[in-house]
């Protein structure tokens, strides 16, 4: 799979002519100036809002097509029929209250695909095991720690079998470094692989306002600034190095809220795992 490609992307107030390639099996962090910019960029990468310029490609397909597929309840027009191209991981995990972790994960399947209950349950157990969550499957969101809810939200996104994950970071919550490394190891001391290895089958893009919060996932994050910010100049040169042949020496694996497509990403919204909103 080709992974995630931001091709000469422009988002008002966030970035201008920004290009970045994230191959499957790698994870990159993009640092923007504030949390509003995180949400604005999320919506564009997920295909919920058209960019001011350029395009977002996931597995060589324009990201704008996925919400339309979901809205029309039709199979995706490219890629594997039983997978989504890009999924959103909310900063807080986005679990549906009133449902156990098992139920949240089992319901996390693409609405354009008919998945049997047996297959969905098996996929939920396998994904939970990878993230050290298997013994928590019977618990409700309010019975989980913040880090465990983050892990569960990551697991729920993986259950969609995406080509790419867009991970929202928030300074008000534990870092994804902590959730994917330390929290996971506390739950399962024998857990493998490391944080970056969890992206072995997807392209990962973490959106943050602080590069220190993503050191384990990407020790060399990309700074993203709007061209209108005085004194910053043109940052294009810093990003072109990521947009040549897609090779990345960090890519070896070692080291959605409810509603209709097109609604804004809300800071307090929930990801139901039913795909009715976030691409």
Task: Find the length of the chain.
Answer: 279
Of 202, 259, 198, 195, the closest CA to residue 85 belongs to 202
Closest among 43, 151, 173 to 104, alpha carbons compared:
151
Find the helix or strand (DSSP H, E) in which 167 lies: strand 164-168
Strands 164-168 and 15-22: unpaired
Strands 164-168 and 86-89: parallel
Are 221 and 234 spatial neighbours (Cβ–Cβ below 8 Å)? no
What pLDDT is recorded for position 228?
A: 55
Average pLDDT over residues 5-21: 95
3 state SS of 46: coil
End-to-end CA distance of the chain: 19
Decide if pLDDT at 270 tops 60. Answer: no
Report CA Rg, the chain: 17
Sequence-distant (≥ 6) Cβ neighbours of residue 49 within 8 angstroms: 40, 43, 262
Task: Supply φ then ψ for residue 59, to 5 degrees.
Answer: 55, 40
Average pLDDT of the chain, as a whole number: 80
pLDDT band of 80, cuts 50, 70, 90: low
Residue 87's DSSP bridge partners are 165
Q: What is the DSSP letter of 82?
A: T
Residue for token digits 């019977």? Answer: 138
Phi, psi of 198, rounded to the nearest 5 degrees: -70, -15
* Per-residue model confidence (pLDDT) at position 239: 41
Determine the average pLDDT of the residues in 46-73.
85
Q: pLDDT band at 44, cuts 50/70/90?
A: very high
Which three-class secondary structure state does DSSP give residue 93?
A: coil
3-state secondary structure of 204: strand
- Here the tokens at position 100 are 């156990």
pLDDT at 255 over 90: no
Chain segment 171-224, per-residue pLDDT in tens: 999 999 999 999 999 999 988 888 999 999 999 999 999 999 999 999 999 999
**What distance in Å separates the CA atoms of residue 126 and residue 274, rounded to the nearest whole number?**
19
Query: What three-state secondary structure class fits 222?
Result: strand
* Tokens describing residue 94: 């986005």
Report the C-alpha gap between 170 and 199 in whole angstroms. Answer: 20
Determine what percent of the chain is predicted with pLDDT higher than 70. 72
The residue with tokens 């919060």 is 213
Each residue's pLDDT tens digit, 110-168? 666 666 788 888 889 999 999 999 999 999 999 999 999 999 999 999 988 889 999 99
- pLDDT recorded at residue 112: 65
DSSP 257: B
């Amino acid at each position: 799979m080709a992974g995630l490609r931001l091709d000469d992307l422009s988002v008002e107030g966030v970035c201008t002519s920004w290009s970045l390639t994230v191959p499957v099996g790698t994870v990159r962090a993009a640092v923007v100036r504030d949390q509003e910019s995180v949400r604005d960029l999320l919506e564009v990468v997920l295909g919920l809002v058209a960019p001011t310029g350029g395009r977002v490609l996931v597995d060589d397909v324009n990201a704008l097509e996925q919400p339309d597929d979901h809205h029309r309840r039709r199979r995706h027009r490219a890629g594997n029929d039983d997978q989504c191209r890009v999924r959103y991981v909310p900063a807080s995990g986005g679990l549906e209250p009133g449902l156990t972790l098992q139920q949240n994960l089992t319901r996390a399947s693409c609405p354009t695909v008919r998945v049997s209950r047996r297959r969905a349950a098996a996929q939920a157990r396998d994904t939970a095991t990878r993230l050290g969550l298997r013994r928590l499957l019977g618990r409700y969101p309010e019975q989980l720690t913040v880090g465990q809810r983050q892990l569960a939200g990551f697991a729920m996104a993986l259950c969609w079998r995406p080509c790419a994950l867009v991970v929202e970071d928030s300074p008000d919550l534990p870092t994804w470094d902590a959730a994917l490394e330390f929290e996971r190891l506390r739950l399962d001391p024998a857990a493998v692989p490391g944080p970056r290895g969890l992206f072995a089958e997807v392209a990962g893009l973490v959106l943050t306002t602080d590069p220190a919060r993503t050191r384990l996932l990407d020790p060399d994050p990309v700074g993203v600034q709007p061209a209108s910010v005085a004194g910053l100049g043109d940052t294009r040169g810093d990003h072109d190095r990521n947009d040549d042949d897609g090779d990345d020496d960090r890519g070896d694996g070692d080291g959605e809220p409810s509603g209709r497509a097109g609604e804004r990403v809300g800071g307090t919204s929930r990801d139901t795992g039913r795909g009715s909103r976030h691409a």
